[in-house]
Amino acid sequence: MKQYMIKGGNPLVGDVIIAGAKNAALGLLAAATMADEMVLIDNLPDVDDINAMVDTIEESGATVSRMDRHKVAINGATTFSQTVDNAVVRKMRASYYLLGAMLGKYGHAQVALPGGCNIGSRPIDQHLKGFEALGATVDVNWGMVSVHAEKLTGAHIFFDVVSVGATINVMMAAALAEGKTVLENVAKEPHVVDVANLLNKMGANIKGAGTDVIRVQGVKKLHGTEYSVIPDQIEAGTFMVAAAATKGDVTVKNVIPKHLECISAKLREIGCEILEFDDAVRVIGKGRLKSSKIKTLPYPGFPTDMQPQIAVLLALSKGTSIVTESIFENRFKYADELLRMGASIQVEGNVAVIKGVEKLTGADVSAPDLRAGAALVIAGLTAVDYTHVDDIKYIMRGYEDFAEKLRSLGGQIAEVETEEEIERFKLKTRIG
Ligand code: UD1
């Protein structure tokens, strides 16, 4: 099984180019199937979740041409199946976006209940409530969700919780419903705006994405277009935190600094220097940072997907920090792993109390999920001696060329599988 072997201690220095946003791309790929013409999507990240979504769309009969590593053309005219189920789909959370896309286009769809990272209970009741309000009947049986509508009609829907997935899913279905839909208490994440922008380029009439209320005037059909995925806020944030944690100096390029403000503000508050440019952010880690209080919130609040990474930084900062996780209840599974590296973290329910230590020490740890896995890699990059991160399949779901990018910044990290590869890495890093 593939693992990362890391020798900590090198500050990360240099420039890193951020890939397209995985979570935006998942919605965009589903939306692309809604036209009977070609939709070209560029700046796709080459990560396992995206490749699985493209394969799934191809399996449903859509014509899919992979133009290069980051570009795919999708034509939904040839889609022959609205049933989406295979072993990969069952593990992938975002397959649920095909429910909204196909319900809007064909009036019916059947998709395996989503899996994804095990970070807590992840119900889809708000998605289903939205579909029902548009006139669909919903059945959940044998691990499959089926939605069916004779006709989709616009409706006024008030979501009970702010959900990225439900907002995007119901917005897609509403784009092809008859009449006007008003979605209230919606998610404002950059990827919600990105999917709305693509749908509008395909001929939809969606207003208000990025605010609390989205208004959709249904149209009869959508057409082909070309679109480029926005930069990945979380990949960028991960490199920003890695720069700070290793006391480095990294310019994170090809980003939208506005999307990173929630992260930049926190890093500044604890003592990092942050310089913002038009499409780049430079993070300079200066000695030992200060403690802080952090609570995860929907955008523009501090993202839950950055919680494990910033916790590593706070584990190395001066004083006691409090991290409150308010989105997913099971997102502190990395804490036990960090304890093995010498961190002092006490988790009570959805709150972690972190007492900063001067240094972490290398250990054998396991990635419990995607973002926690990235956090453990950051921990390893700061730690004394060698850290082994197991289960890196999670990390590969969402970070393109993670080890390569870290290496280009001076991080000592390698993907290893065999004892010989481990020994070779140790020999190389001992001398280097
Ligand atoms: C998306 C992201 C994920 C991120 C999360 C929050 C994708 C593919 N994944 O996940 O990386 O961590 O947003 O920013 O984009 N909820 C309900 N009922 C529902 C839907 C959600 O109660 O029908 C709850 C969830 O349990 C959670 C909260 O709402 O507590 C937010 O979840 P949601 O925004 O839907 O997350 P995802 O779209 O699954």
Task: Encode pLDDT of 45-84 as tens digits.
Answer: 999 999 999 999 999 999 999 999 999 999 999 999 999 8
Ligand 1 probe mutation, 128, 161, 229, 394, most atoms within 8 A of CB: 161
Task: Check residue 142 and give its pLDDT.
Answer: 84
Strands (E), 285-429: 293-295, 320-324, 344-348, 351-355, 364-366, 386-390, 412-416
Tell me the two tokens of residue 201.
């380029």
Beta-carbon contacts of residue 125 (< 8 Å; ≥ 6 apart):
none
- pLDDT tens digit sequence for 280-320: 999 999 889 999 999 999 999 999 999 999 999 999 999 99
Q: How far is CA 106 from CA 101, 134, 177, 336, in A?
A: 9, 14, 11, 47
- CA atoms of 383 and 392, how far apart (whole Å): 18
Residue nearest atom 3 of ligand 1, based on CA coordinates: 305
Q: How far is the CA of 236 from the centre of ligand 1 (A)?
A: 20
If pLDDT is split at 50, 70 and 90, which confidence band does 118 have?
low
Task: Check residue 431 and give its pLDDT.
Answer: 58
Q: How far is the CA of 103 from the centre of ligand 1 (A)?
A: 20
Q: Is the pLDDT of residue 432 over 70?
A: no
Beta-carbon contacts of residue 223 (< 8 Å; ≥ 6 apart):
35, 37, 202, 203
Averaged pLDDT for residues 175-185: 98
Q: How far is the CA of 24 from the centre of ligand 1 (A)?
A: 13
Task: Check residue 306 and give its pLDDT.
Answer: 98
Q: How far is the CA of 182 from the centre of ligand 1 (A)?
A: 20
Averaged pLDDT for residues 394-423: 96
Q: Is the pLDDT of residue 119 over 60?
A: no
Residue nearest atom 26 of ligand 1, based on CA coordinates: 122
Residue nearest atom 17 of ligand 1, based on CA coordinates: 123
Strands 3-7 and 412-416: antiparallel
Q: Is the pLDDT of residue 110 over 80?
A: yes
β-pair partners for 156: 182
Residue nearest atom 13 of ligand 1, based on CA coordinates: 164
* Atom of ligand 1 at shortest range from CA of 119: 12
Task: Check residue 87 and give its pLDDT.
Answer: 77
Q: What is the residue whose two structure tokens read 């494990």?
A: 308
Beta-carbon contacts of residue 271 (< 8 Å; ≥ 6 apart):
286, 287, 288, 289, 290
Beta-carbon contacts of residue 27 (< 8 Å; ≥ 6 apart):
94, 97, 168, 172, 191, 194, 195
Task: Check residue 120 and give its pLDDT.
Answer: 54
Ligand 1 probe mutation, 129, 164, 330, most atoms within 8 A of CB: 164
- CA atoms of 373 and 368, how far apart (whole Å): 6
Residue nearest atom 20 of ligand 1, based on CA coordinates: 124
Tell me the two tokens of residue 259.
């999307």
CB 247 within 8 A of CB 253: no
Residue nearest atom 5 of ligand 1, based on CA coordinates: 164
If pLDDT is split at 50, 70 and 90, which confidence band does 408 have?
very high
β-pair partners for 211: 209
Q: How far is the CA of 191 from the centre of ligand 1 (A)?
A: 13
- CA atoms of 82 and 76, how far apart (whole Å): 11
Averaged pLDDT for residues 383-391: 96
* Atom of ligand 1 at shortest range from CA of 189: 14
- CA atoms of 424 and 35, how far apart (whole Å): 51
The residues carrying an active-site annotation are 117
Q: How far is the CA of 375 from the centre of ligand 1 (A)?
A: 20
Task: Check residue 310 and give its pLDDT.
Answer: 98
If pLDDT is split at 50, 70 and 90, which confidence band does 364 have?
very high
Q: How far is CA 276 from the centre of its chain?
A: 23
Q: Is the pLDDT of residue 349 over 80?
A: yes
Averaged pLDDT for residues 114-128: 73
Averaged pLDDT for residues 406-413: 98
Does the predicted model carry a pTM greater than 0.85?
A: yes
Tell me the two tokens of residue 29.
């790929």
* Contacts within 8 Å (CB) and 24+ apart, 208-213: 209/171, 212/184, 212/185, 212/186, 212/188, 213/182, 213/183, 213/184, 213/186
Query: Whole-number mean pLDDT of the chain?
Result: 95
φ, ψ at 372 (rounded to 5°): -65, -35
- pLDDT tens digit sequence for 132-149: 999 999 998 888 899 999
- CA atoms of 65 and 47, how far apart (whole Å): 17
Q: How far is CA 339 from CA 224, 344, 346, 362, in A?
A: 51, 6, 9, 11
Task: Check residue 265 and give its pLDDT.
Answer: 97
- pLDDT tens digit sequence for 181-227: 999 999 999 999 999 999 999 999 999 999 999 999 999 999 999 99
Identify the residues whose C-beta falls under 6 Å from ligand 1: 23, 26, 93-94, 121-127, 161, 163-166, 187, 303-305, 327-328
